Amino acid sequence: MRLGTLHLDRGGQIFLALLALTTLLVPILNLAVPADSPLHVSTFTVTLLGKYLTYALLAIAVDLVWGYLGILSLGHGAFFALGGYAMGMYLMRQIGDRGVYGNPELPDFMVFLNWQELPWFWHGFDMFWFAALMVMLVPGALAFVFGWLAFRSRVTGVYLSIITQALTYALMLAFFRNEMGFGGNNGLTDFKDLLGFDLQSDATRIGLFIASALAVAGGYLACRTIVTSKLGRVTVAIRDAESRTRFIGYRVERFKLWVFTFSAVLAGIAGALYVPQVGIINPGEFSPINSIEIVVWVAIGGRATLYGAVLGALLVNYGKTYLTGVMPDAWLFALGGLFVLVTLLLPQGIAGLLRRKEATA
């Protein structure tokens, strides 16, 4: 890693500093400060923050391919969900014989649908290392195959966007099918513990929160490294003038493929961290609307800045949490209006606004 990773990245520096501060403060305020103190951070808030952070990592992954490579993926939710499912399968296996039917081998949903034995693809998920590997391998492999096909035949622009959407839509329909062995519409839920830690204890939640924060920081630095390296400059060149880059002699397809795959792996990791914190994974995560929403986060935060993506993810999701509670009947107006206004008034997103301020200051 060259010195330049965070050099000239004021936004990134501020973001990482804030992240570090939150990661230090929140556990203390949650665990050490008594519940009746005004400074206490409730476990509810911790879980919520943890969830936002996984979304932030997902947004970084999308920003990497959209902001720096020009691929508008409307299917990144699929990689996120696949990572989530891999983690969910591990958590299901950890339940063991503590399910309601007490079957040591089969998850509950298989028992009441009369499955006789564990499907082959569930084997191995009782080991954490295997599940962790799959969290990265499955989304990565799917992205690799998909990208290899698509980039080789030079599918670009909206065509690419729409077939990524087709991909996540097809996966959603497939996972909805109960025959698939992933719990159908109900998905995977009722998790008990992770690596032996009780998922309902405050300490585990704090642990997951810290893990998410570390993942976001790691993801950010990795992406930052990529975009500031020579590879990153090539990707920007591809984004701005694909044909020209190709004529110069770069193997455009390869660059695209590797960055796309890396981004999918990041999304998978985000999904894996997301599942134990919200306690459920189901095919709804594959829904094309979800993937569009991710893109909206990035756009609101500001493309091609990485920290903007984080900002957008946090802001929109916080807005959602807040508004669905305060104005349950009208929150869609506010959210929809926000999308329209940001697109019209802040073409560079919020990050652009910050940068502009900085420039004038």
Partner 1 sequence: MPTRLLRSPLSALRLWLLVALALCAFAQAALAGSAELEQGIALIKTNKYDQVEEGVTLVASSRDPRAVGLLAALQDSDLYLRKADGRLFIATRSDAGYDLIDPLTQAPAGTAGKRDLKRIRINNRLRSQLRTAVATLNLTHPEASVRLAAVNEMLDRLDADSLALLRDLAGDEKNAEVRAGMTAAIALADLNADEPARRIEALDQLEGNLHPAVQGGIQRLLDREQDEAVRATAERVLEGLQFKRDLYGFAETLFFGLSLGSVLVLAAIGLAITFGVMGVINMAHGELIMLGAYTTYIVQQLMPEHIGLALFLAIPAAFVVSGAVGILIERGVIRFLYGRPLETLLATFGISLILQQLVRTLISPQNVPVANPDWMSGSWQINSVLSLTMNRMYIIAFCLIVFTALYLVMRRTSLGLQVRAVSQNRAMARAMGVRSARVDALTFGLGSGIAGVAGVALSQLTNVGPNLGQSYIIDSFMVVVFGGVGNLWGTLVAGMSLGVVNKILEPWAGAVLAKILVLIFIILFIQKRPRGLFPQKGRAAEG
Partner 2 sequence: MTKTKRFASASALAAALSFGITALANAADTIKVGILHSLSGTMAISETTLKDTMLMLIDEQNKKGGLLGKQLEAVVVDPASNWPLFAEKARELIEKDKVAAVFGCWTSVSRKSVLPVFEELNGLLFYPVQYEGEESSKNVFYTGAAPNQQAIPAVDYLMDDLEVKRWVLAGTDYVYPRTTNKILEAYLKSKGVAEEDIMINYTPFGHSDWQSIVSEIKKFGSAGKKTAVVSTINGDANVPFYKELGNQGLSSEDIPVVAFSVGEEELSGIDTKPLVGHLAAWNYFMSVDTPENEAFIDTWHGFIKNDDRVTNDPMEAHYIGFNLWTQAVEKAGSTDTDKVVEAIIGLETPNLTGGKAVMLKNHHITKPVLIGEIQDDGQFAVVWETDAEVPGDAWSDFLPGSKDIVADWTPPISCGNYNSVTKKCSGQNY
Torsion angle of alpha carbons 141, 146, 147, 148, nearest 10°?
90
**29, amino acid identity:** L
Q: Which lies closer to partner 2 via its Cβ, residue 198 or residue 358?
A: 198
Tell me if 85 sits within 8 A of 182, measured CB to CB.
Answer: yes
The angle at the Cα of 90, spanning 100 to 56, to the nearest 5 degrees, equals 115
Q: Which lies closer to partner 1 via its Cβ, residue 1 or residue 289?
A: 289
Q: b/e per residue, 200-225, with b = 16+ CB within 10 A?
A: eeeebbbbbbbbbbebbbebbbbbbb
Is 44 a residue that touches partner 2 (CB under 8 A)? yes
* Beta carbon of residue 221, minimum distance to partner 1 (angstroms, whole number): 27
Among 6, 231, 236, 280, binds partner 2 (CB under 8 A): 280
Residues 108-147 that bind partner 1 (CB under 8 A): 146
Tell me if 216 sits within 8 A of 310, measured CB to CB.
Answer: yes
Structure tokens at 156: 């670009």
Residue 8 burial (10 A CB sphere; 0-12, 13-18, 19+): exposed
153 makes contact, choosing from partner 1, partner 2, none, with CB < 5 to 8 Å by partner type, with partner 1
Among 2, 8, 329, 345, binds partner 2 (CB under 8 A): 329
Q: Which residues bind partner 2 (CB under 8 A)?
A: 25-26, 29, 35-45, 47-48, 51, 95, 97-103, 109, 111-114, 173, 176-178, 184-187, 189-192, 200, 278-280, 282, 284, 318, 321-322, 324-326, 328-329, 331-332
Q: Which residues bind partner 1 (CB under 8 A)?
A: 72, 146, 149-150, 152-159, 161-163, 165-167, 169-170, 173-174, 176-177, 288-289, 292, 295-296, 299-300, 329-330, 332-333, 335-340, 342-344, 347
